Structure 1
């Protein structure tokens, strides 16, 4: 439970950081706004063309009598739009990070620089970074889809399906959202997806504390756009914590331990 609070604390500190650096917050909004416009256009197009798409995909129902034809195709149209909406929610963060790769990488570097110590740089060309981000996002999306199918099947279990399963769904979504967002800082450090997953599994409570409140906030329309810059900043702080890279915390804790333990050696233990 304490680690959950640590993760949530990094999320809050990230939002505070961008609030103190208004220029970075403004630049960080641009990718989210671009992605929002693209997704809004796609959803409007889907809403306008869903009827025709369903009719084209179900020619076998053309001879059905009323009201069965209307009920059948209206139900499929509604399901198609809901599926499109669900797909937009679970891919919004990945696409925003991909669109805003230079913005968010620069923002993450500024957080590292502000906290002190080494400021890692990937040294890779932009096209290579975009390729790696797209590949890792696709791998994560497949993992989320697999868990989604399993949770959907469990949703038919009486009582459990209506109580435990939705809570697990938010936890799974929040955890993978944390994996996605920490990818900005970890990719600059040359950490591959497999290592990222292992690192966050070792501090699952912190990952959930960071990701679950964020995924709940993202359910509110347009909130994701405004929280993305702070989420990237907070994810950078989380990465520094997970890897024990924060010299400010090291110096602070080291001073306290030295005063308590005299000349004994001091080793910083990451939270």
Structure 2
């Protein structure tokens, strides 16, 4: 059995940002690379396929635009093509972040399990591969719970953008804070779910350590906005969230009388 590693808070309490950044260190560990590589390759292959298809459609679209433009405006192509490609990359990055949470959910749970085992030196009794396959409907059901929690609140926050003055000043700040909270829920849920902690109990635990949760989610949100870099945000966030689980919540659910700090 591998010996336990020291996570950030084992010697000194760290912020949620430090936990997220620690995830970059963890994904390089030999025992975790396979569980990082598989969902990453699925993500890259799907993303490459969609980009290829979309670029083909963009080419058709720009051929049509060129046919409509007079010759003296043909130089607009040099501006419109880069703008279209950058916009496509940003939009697809956000869409794929959501889609991949569903496609990679079983792998994410396994990654969280292996990270916890690496950090504690103690294996989790999650059963055989057959047991994991049987557990797949429950895992996807957990993703559905997160989506149900997210959608109505996201719509409410988006409506705030239409309120005069508030929409241009306060709404962006509220949206960022909401996104940070949701990122904390999304990625911290994997180690909680591995221990069959109820979704509402997980939210309560994160609320008890609100500063750490929000700073962790804020870091994930910022890195998720960077095209290409956001490909590795998911495994990094899972590793960081699991380290946070080990330091702040694991003993609480083994010994409920202990309050999270």
Q: Is the 8 A contact 2:32 2:115 kept in 1?
A: no
Compute the displacement of 1:129 (Å). 3.0
Compute the displacement of 1:174 (Å). 2.1
The residue that corresponds to 1:148 in the other structure is 154
Q: Is the 8 A contact 1:178 1:211 kept in 2?
A: yes
The residue that corresponds to 1:184 in the other structure is 190
**What SS does the corresponding residue of 1:243 show, helix, strand or coil?**
helix
Counterpart of 2:101 (choices 94, 118, 122) is 94
Unaligned runs of 5+ in 1: 51-77, 247-266
The residue that corresponds to 2:112 in the other structure is 108
Q: Is the 8 A contact 2:116 2:242 kept in 1?
A: yes
Alpha-carbon distance in 2 for matches of 1:164, 1:89:
28
Compute the displacement of 1:213 (Å). 1.3
Compute the displacement of 1:48 (Å). 6.5
1:167 aligns with 2:173: yes
**What SS does the corresponding residue of 2:15 show, helix, strand or coil?**
helix
Q: How does 1:1-271 map to 2 (within 5 A)?
A: 6-19=15-28, 21-22=29-30, 24-25=32-33, 27-42=35-50, 45=53, 85=92, 88-89=95-96, 91-98=98-105, 101-102=106-107, 104-116=108-120, 118-123=122-127, 125-245=131-251, 270-271=260-261
CA RMSD of aligned residues (A): 3.5
Q: Number of residues paired by the alignment?
A: 218
The residue that corresponds to 2:73 in the other structure is none
Compute the displacement of 1:217 (Å). 0.8
| Residues 148/116 of structure 1: CA separation in 2 closer, same or farther (3 Å cut) | closer
Compute the displacement of 1:6 (Å). 1.8
The residue that corresponds to 1:62 in the other structure is none
Q: Is the 8 A contact 1:33 1:225 kept in 2?
A: no
Q: Is the 8 A contact 2:192 2:245 kept in 1?
A: yes
Q: Is the 8 A contact 1:244 1:270 kept in 2?
A: no
Q: Is the 8 A contact 1:199 1:242 kept in 2?
A: no
**What SS does the corresponding residue of 2:173 show, helix, strand or coil?**
helix
Compute the displacement of 1:154 (Å). 0.7
**What SS does the corresponding residue of 1:245 show, helix, strand or coil?**
helix
Q: Is the 8 A contact 1:182 1:239 kept in 2?
A: yes
Q: Is the 8 A contact 1:112 1:236 kept in 2?
A: yes
